[in-house]
A and B are shown apart, each in its own frame.
Chain A
Amino acid sequence: MKLRIAGLAALLIALPVLANVDTNSVAPDFTLNAQGGKSVELTQFKGQVVMLNFWASWCGPCRQEMPLLDSIYKKYSKLGFTMIGVNVEPDSKAANDWLKQTPVSFPILYDTDSKVSKLYGVSGMPSTVIVDRKGTVRMIHHGYKPGDEEEYLSSIRSLMRE
């Protein structure tokens, strides 16, 4: 009897808390507005390698990373790759002001009510999620330090070969 209680207790403790987005899980679908008010859905990029970057204008490492993401996008966008910048700010004004000064060519979506941030369990700023052509999450990266872009590039290159 005691052994059964102990076993059950151990099992309950071992249960993971909130199942978040993990590598090799399906990337949750979402629809957000882009610049200009156009509605964009994640599944419309199926067949391409997609890199989601959660960023904010108030986040130093995010701002530092953006020009590098732009050069990655420019290099691979015609080869079946797309970059999506998901801005997590409830008020988009500061983000748009910053984009005017430091424009990027990849699409920016506005997650003003944080529903996609919650959906993807964003646990660091910035956060990068790379999704393969079939819609499966293949890489999750938190934070940005100079040199991280090499990690992104090697992941993107190998996924594009699939």
Chain B
Amino acid sequence: MRVLRVLVALSVLQLLGACAPLEPWVKPYEREHLADPIMALDRNPISSDYLDHVFGTREGAHGATGGAGGGCGCN
């Protein structure tokens, strides 16, 4: 009974094209700006690691300074 309800719900959503499956809205050929080096989340890891260290030794707060992703999305 529950399985039936889930199947119906999924097919309704499919028809609406709303949820599953959701298409990526930025296409691979539209990533020109994101691939620009100035849009890298961390352009100089050696420099930002050093600054994290400078602040971390003088402040009480630490952590949550990472960030991977963005870029050209190639391959």
Contacts and interface: CB of A to CB of B under 8 A. Distances in A.
Interface residues of B, number: 22
Contacts of B14: 12-13, 15
Interface stretch (A29-37, A96-104, A120-128, A149-157): A120-128
A161 interface: no
A144 B3 CA distance: 42
B62 to A, nearest CB: 34
Interface string A38-67: 000000000000000010101111100000
Interface string B7-45: 110110011000001010001111110011000000000
Dominant SS among interface residues on chain B: helix
Nearest to B7: A9
A5 B35 CA distance: 47
Interface of B: 3-4, 7-8, 10-11, 14-15, 21, 23, 27-32, 35-36, 72-75
Interface of A: 2, 5-6, 8-10, 12-13, 15, 17-18, 54, 56, 58-62, 88-90, 114, 117-118, 122-127, 142-145
